[in-house]
Amino acid sequence: MKALVFVPYGYDSVPGQRFRIEQWARVLERGGVRFDFVPFQSPRLGRILHAPGHHAAKVREILVGAVRRLRFLARVKDQWDVVFLYRELAPFGPPVLEHLLARRGIPFVYDFDDAIFLPNVSDVNRTFAALKWVSKTATICRLAHHVTVGNPYLSEYARRHARQVSVVPTTIDTEVYPVKPSVEVKDTPVIGWSGSVSTAKHLRTVGNALRRLAERVKFRLKVVGDEGVMLRGVDVESKRWHAEAEVDDLRAFDIGIMPLPDDDWSRGKCGLKALQYMAVGVPTVASPVGVNREIIEDGHNGFLARGEDEWVEKLLWLLGDEALRARFAKEGRRTVEERYSARVQAPRVLEILERASARVHV
């Protein structure tokens, strides 16, 4: 089977693609399935899209991307058996390209892992907010042969508009994420957070808890993904994210944290940070928001912390109890291997793609 994959971003550049279709494709290609990736973003658009200004250049690159999409749509039915569409065909405007894709007659599977049906535009692109057209998510769900989403919250939305919906969680390639050899704390314990500049605001929601913790025990907060993070009263080491260092950075944590606000956008998240920590055997503390409540069984394979006092209490508990850290490390890894590994979920994706293709070609 040959699948054409329409993605917004360049290959191996953003988590949503890396831990979903790109990862699944690598597993399935071993069995002879072919995946051809076609990003919307040019390398230049990738560099400037989330930078201030560059409005004319952004518009020009978006128009170039749309033309490139049209060229692929003109020949899509002749070369591929099925299309896999991640998020949208174009970052702005109504679903014109998706309607064209549906009219080509080739089946397509639609995947999203965020609450993209809600308004959410970065501060640097407020100028384009009116063009975002979030309502098109419902239309694309109706046009698709099958919709795959990252968690039950997203599924509730998709089922109001789509014929077939499956929850396929974001996954970890456990062959690439080896377990750290020990949970023993050496020297100053490290509490770690991995994310991006845009999600660093979530880390600041536990700033008071971390300051209170620092008054009672010495630790270092290691931040990967935003080198500008500073928290008053907390020893912070921050660095940019680099793909080649990602696993080693995670394995350097003694405890991994995933704070989230309890809002609609956060409920659409798929728990990637927690899964990454758990995959490498790092004991994890997360907010009980959205899918985190399914990934973490409080007190068994990690902790859920509901408020400032609980964050302080549970981090103190983990820092002082090596046996508990060891149990969380073991059970967290087991959770990933059994339910959230690419090895387990990729065959489900192949089945969905094959069913979608057969529905048209039989």
Query: Could you tell me the CATH number of the domain that includes residue 62?
Result: 3.40.50.2000
Separation of alpha carbons 268 and 151, rounded Å: 7
Share of the chain above pLDDT 90, in %: 77
* 180 occurs within a structural domain: no
Q: Are residues 149 and 266 in the same domain?
A: no
Q: Are residues 149 and 196 in the same domain?
A: no
Separation of alpha carbons 233 and 343, rounded Å: 43
- The whole-number pLDDT of residue 84 equals 98
Per-residue pLDDT band at 228 (split at 50, 70, 90):
confident
Q: Are residues 226 and 128 in the same domain?
A: no
Q: Are residues 10 and 137 in the same domain?
A: yes
Of 43-52, 63-72, 120-129, 232-241, the range with the highest mean pLDDT is: 232-241
Nearest of 251, 249, 244, 242 to residue 283 by alpha carbon: 251
Domain that holds residue 52: 2-171+342-361
Across 33-42, 71-80, 131-140, 292-301, least confident range: 71-80
Separation of alpha carbons 325 and 283, rounded Å: 6
Average pLDDT score over residue span 263-282? 97
* 206 occurs within a structural domain: yes
- The whole-number pLDDT of residue 186 equals 85
Separation of alpha carbons 214 and 2, rounded Å: 54
Separation of alpha carbons 146 and 143, rounded Å: 9
- The whole-number pLDDT of residue 128 equals 47
Q: Are residues 261 and 275 in the same domain?
A: yes
Average pLDDT score over residue span 297-323? 98
pLDDT surpasses 60 at 108: yes
Reading the block at residue 62, the tokens are 């978006």
- The whole-number pLDDT of residue 246 equals 95
* 177 occurs within a structural domain: no
Average pLDDT score over residue span 334-347? 98
- The whole-number pLDDT of residue 60 equals 81
Q: Are 308 and 248 within 8 A, CB to CB?
A: no
Q: Are residues 44 and 55 in the same domain?
A: yes
Question: What type of residue sits at position 227?
Answer: E
* 178 occurs within a structural domain: no
- The whole-number pLDDT of residue 130 equals 57
- The whole-number pLDDT of residue 362 equals 37
**What's the structural domain count of the chain?**
2
- The whole-number pLDDT of residue 68 equals 86
Q: Are residues 64 and 148 in the same domain?
A: yes
